[in-house]
Amino acid sequence: MSDRQIANPGIGATKAEMAFQQLPDVNVRVGKITKWSGAPAQVKRDEPLIPPKLTGAIEFNGNHEENAGRYGLYPVRITRTHADGEPGSVVGPYGKILEHGQEYELPGNVALQLVSDKCAVFLFSGATKEEIRFIEEAKRRGFEVNTPAPKPAPVDDRPWLKRKSSWMSPVLTGPKAPGTE
C-alpha cells in the first residue's frame, strides 16, 4: 500500500472505518502516517523529599511523646489545598488544627504521614554537614528543597539598654512651636 493510497482512502477503507468505529474497544483511523517524533519530555517526579532517617519501617501508634523520642522532631510546612485551590488546614496530633502555610515541629512518623498525603513538606535548614550533603544531592536529582522561613529578629526590651534622655531631649522631642510643621 502506498502513501497516496493511505492519504486518500478508497470506498472500502472508508466503509471499514465506519464499521469498526461502532465497536467499543476498536480505534481505527484511516489517514496519513506520521513518523515517531521521539520520546516525550521527562516528567518531573511527583515524590516528596523525605529525610533519610525516616526511610524504612515506621510505626503509627498514637503515642506522640514516645514517637518524638524514637523518630525525632521534624519541621514541616502545611501545604494542603482543597480541590478548588483554596488553602486548607489539617488535623494534627491530639486534634490540634495545623493551619496552611504555618510551620510546625512534629514527630517523624506524623510528619511523614502528612508529607506522604501531600498535606505538608519537610523543611531542611542545612544545620549539619550530613543535611547539607543531602540537600545538595536532592537538588542534583531535581527535587525541590524547602527551607524554613527566616525568623524575625528578637526584640530587645531590656530597660537598662534603653537610650537615656539627655538635657536636650525636651527640646528635641517636645511640642513644636505654633506655625511650624
**Every domain of the chain and the residues it spans:** 1-32, 52-140
Instruction: Give me the DSSP letters along 58-123.
Output: ----S-HHHHHHHH-EEEEEE--B-TTS-B--EE-GGGPEEPTT-EEEEEHHHHHHHHHTTSEEEB
- Whether the pLDDT of residue 138 is over 80: the answer is yes
Per-residue pLDDT tens for 84-120?
Answer: 889 999 998 888 999 999 999 999 999 999 999 999 9
Most confident of 16-20, 21-25, 75-79: 75-79
pLDDT of residue 115: 92
Per-residue pLDDT tens for 46-95?
Answer: 788 888 888 888 888 878 888 888 888 999 999 998 888 899 999 988 88
Query: Measuring CA to CA, which residue among 113, 30, 127 is closest to residue 64?
Result: 113
